[in-house]
Amino acid sequence: MFIRDFSAIEDKDGLIFTARGNNNNENIIRCCLIYVPTELPSNRVRKPDKKYFKIPDQTGYGFLSSNMFNKLYTDPITQETYPVVKVNNIVKVIDPIKSLQSILESNEYPQLEEFVSHIESMRIPKQSLGIFGSVMLGFEQNNFHDFDLIVYGIKNKNKYMNSRAKLFSDFGYESVSNSELENITKNIAMKENPIGFNLMHPVSINRQLSCMVRNNDLFSIKFAYLPEETQKPLLFPPKGDIKIEGIVTDDSRAFFMPYTYIVHNSKEEYIIQTYDFAYFSAAFKDQNVKIQGMLRKCPFANLITVQKPYHYISPELK
């Protein structure tokens, strides 16, 4: 069953997931859990006006392992455990490309239309753009909108990267630190001291590469393969935990799931593979990184997989 990366999936229990990468299994879809109905058991405080809880961790592993272990799958080869949706439990699938087209046709978000026009100016067709997250699902957001856009296709990713600097200069973008962005997004008191409408701030957080705040709206860009470009993950049994330090020498496949890049140190070359977007911020070309993960029994390469909650990438691994 084909489900586009970053599609939203609702199952029979009302949980909402987002599709994450190719898992080579016709019966299950590898996912991240993103929203849980408030009526389900949870240690979070219920709000009468909220239908869903947003799950803060990137996979929903913590919630599912405590409450719905049957929605976790352990791969018999890699022995990794992650959330899945069984195909016969799917109630609804929301496609990111179709969703963005529908939202643009509604004229509900003129700021989104303007942003998409910027992307189209890079010769990236609108038909290759998608949206996911709360706006895609139609959830209300007071005084703040978080627009998560996806650029599909390797060529389109390259067009975006090659034109990004020009886009910044043409529209007067300014740099903002990660800590400042966190303060902006957490304190929705922006309505009391809003960022000027003509000022857009790109920052580099994780692999989004460009995250922009404008007039209380947050725009971010992610990338995904077109169906014909999708590459199978490297699946091998575990060999043992490993820690390495090195320099990222190739990040050309680091924009697409499974996020994959090459690290060299003085002795060896390593392939790093992970599905965890939040723990991928260190993997830029020419960057020094420290990595803790699982070395795999791969016959043709030194393969390390990194998976939350057990393994992580950090520029300051202690």
Q: Where are the domains of the chain?
A: 8-94, 96-224, 231-314
Rounded to whole angstroms, the Cα distance separating 41 from 37 reads: 9
Helix axis angle, 110-120 to 96-106, nearest 10°: 120
| Ranges 106-120, 197-211, 238-252: which has the least confidence | 197-211
Mean pLDDT of 257-279: 84
Helix axis angle, 154-171 to 110-120, nearest 10°: 110
28 or 221: which carries more pLDDT confidence? 28
DSSP codes of every residue in 145-163 = EEEEEEEESHHHHHHHHHH
Model-level pTM? 0.81
Locate 296 and state its tokens: 């795999």
> Ranked by mean pLDDT, which of 45-54, 133-142, 290-299 comes out on top?
290-299
Among residues 215, 48, 238, 57, the alpha carbon closest in space to that of 147 is found at 215
Please report, for residues 3, 154, 210, 222, 248, the alpha-carbon distance to residue 161 in angstroms, rounded to integers and kept in the order given: 26, 11, 10, 12, 18
| Ranges 20-29, 93-102, 221-230, 296-305: which has the least confidence | 20-29
| Amino acid in the structure at residue 139 | F
- DSSP secondary structure code for residue 118 in this structure: H
Across all residues in the chain, what is the average pLDDT?
77
- What is the model's pLDDT at position 41? 62
Rounded to whole angstroms, the Cα distance separating 199 from 211 reads: 13
Helix (H, G, I), strand (E, B) or coil at 248: strand
The CATH code belonging to domain 231-314 is: 2.40.50.140
> What is the dihedral angle through the alpha carbons of 201, 205, 208, 211, rounded to the nearest 10 degrees?
-10
- DSSP secondary structure code for residue 99 in this structure: H
